[in-house]
Amino acid sequence: MSIVKDSSKKAYLLLFCKNYYVKYDLSEQKPLDTLNYLSDDSSLDIENIVTNFRSLPINDNLYFIENTGGGVFEFKNGYFKRIDNSYSHRLQFGAFPFVYDNKIHQYGGYGFFSNRDMITFFDPSTKSWEIVNPIKSDIMPIGTSASVSILHKSDLYVFNGFYTDKFDRKKNHMLNEVWNFNFLDHKWRMLGKTSIDESGYYNKNFQLDNKLLCLNYNGQIAEVDVENNIVKIFKKTNFIEKLSDHILPIYSNDYIFCILNNGIKNTLELHIRKKDDFLGDYIEEHELYRSGIWAENKYLMLPIALVLLFIVLIIILIIKKKRSSDINSFIKIQNQNVFYKNKMIDLDQSEVEIIKILLDKPEGVSTSDIMNLTETKGLNYSHNIRQKNIKINNINLIFKATLKIDYDIIISSKSDFDQRMRIYKLVLRNE
């Protein structure tokens, strides 16, 4: 079920069944036509698209994306047309689909005994799926599927998804964390620990303005305001119990459009409700999450954290001062050139910038920081990773040849804070 607009911006609701679809006039709130699907490709299995793809409206068009990841179809004027050069890779089952910047996106998903931690998007220019790189992130969430997610303006909120047990790939655990990804600065932030345990997992929800309406929260309804960290609890109505298990409600212009099962006639019926008529009696409200330092005893944790932070800062400053003085005593950058004991090292501009950032941060530089200097916009993530590796290897080779040394001056290792991240450092010795 999706809402689309025609060229005159008049809104219609489309209800898709196995071999036909029904078009509803939203202004008059009544069905107009029952129509058959059409396709220019006689071999196209339209029934499979309707049952195994999810629909997303963008402007005046409607798109269907494969549940497991890969295929993309455009639906316009009753016609299905494939528009991707991808394939059914089956790596994003249970991903969260959404539209940002008029492009189809997905977060997370499960496939091949693991869960994804990435945001992907469909690029109409290349007709393929690309990765949104979290280039400013210091931390990232564990990959999950079936997460509870909502997009508000430029912020994606994710919580309560399931991640794969590293030691038993057949087991999944719920991640009781709330994360935010901002598309403007491309940075992940961990907001805190969710107050919702596995028994209160939201497995049936839809967006209502900037909030999420969750229909199965311990037998009740929860209105989740992630931006303001509030969860309001309401009673279920008899009406809610009749909702279709497979077709989620849609909210538009103060109305909720939903499909009910008619048990007597064994049919599906469209019902339209105001928000206030949809919810039962108000029960209570509570926080969605608590930030990490306050999750236990805030009065005890704060002074301990401050003392530990002070000690860590002192140690970092001592190490930084020592390493910086060691390195900077024999390697200099002048007029965008690198010199070792007054001997110029022949590097290109991006390689000079890599040396500069490594000198500025002797404690270590992340992969994303280096890729900001080496990546080519418009190319995929794998290509830019290779380009970054080529630059670092070239720097190591030039230093070896020029200084007659037998070791790499740039080394990488796993981060002490996040084993999934790699940190790059200079190890040039004064020989």
pLDDT tens digits for range 278-295:
888 899 998 888 875 544
Tokens of 119: 């945001």
Burial class (CB in 10 A: 0-12, 13-18, 19+), 338: buried
Residue among 47, 43, 77, 48 nearest 60 (CA): 77
Contact present, 109 and 116 (Cβ < 8 Å)? yes
Tokens of 320: 């930084």
Contact present, 423 and 364 (Cβ < 8 Å)? yes
Residue among 219, 222, 243 nearest 232 (CA): 222
Q: What is the pLDDT of residue 420?
A: 74
Host H or E run for residue 303: helix 298-328
**Torsion of the alpha carbons at 310, 313, 314 and 315, rounded to the nearest 10:** 120
Return the residue matching tokens 């209105």.
223
Q: What is the pLDDT of residue 202?
A: 56
- Has residue 412 been placed in a domain? yes
Give the list of residues 6+ apart from residue 356 with CB closer than 8 angstroms, or none: 333
Residue among 14, 147, 31 nearest 75 (CA): 14
Q: What is the pLDDT of residue 172?
A: 84
Strand order in the sheet with 30-35: 2-5, 11-16, 21-25, 30-35
What is the per-residue DSSP string for 135-184? Answer: TT-S--PPP-BS-EEEEETTEEEEES-EEE-SS-TT-EEE--EEEEEETT
Q: Is 426 helix (H, G, I), strand (E, B) or coil?
A: strand
Give CA–CA dist 152/209, Å, rounded: 9
Give CA–CA dist 256/273, Å, rounded: 5
Q: What is the pLDDT of residue 118?
A: 92
- Has residue 101 been placed in a domain? no
Give the residue ranges of the chain where pLDDT is below 70: 7, 29-33, 35, 40-43, 196-203, 217-218, 262-267, 292-302, 305, 317-329, 429-431
- Has residue 78 been placed in a domain? no
Q: What is the pLDDT of residue 75?
A: 86
Burial class (CB in 10 A: 0-12, 13-18, 19+), 397: exposed
Q: 389 is in which domain, residue-wise?
A: 330-426
Rg (CA), the chain: 27
Q: What is the pLDDT of residue 325?
A: 47
Q: What is the pLDDT of residue 43?
A: 65
Give CA–CA dist 422/411, Å, rounded: 10
Q: What is the pLDDT of residue 122?
A: 93
- Has residue 141 been placed in a domain? no
Residue among 354, 367, 364 nearest 136 (CA): 367
CATH of the domain at 369: 1.10.10.10
Give CA–CA dist 270/275, Å, rounded: 16
- Has residue 384 been placed in a domain? yes
Q: How many distinct structural domains can be found in the chain?
A: 1
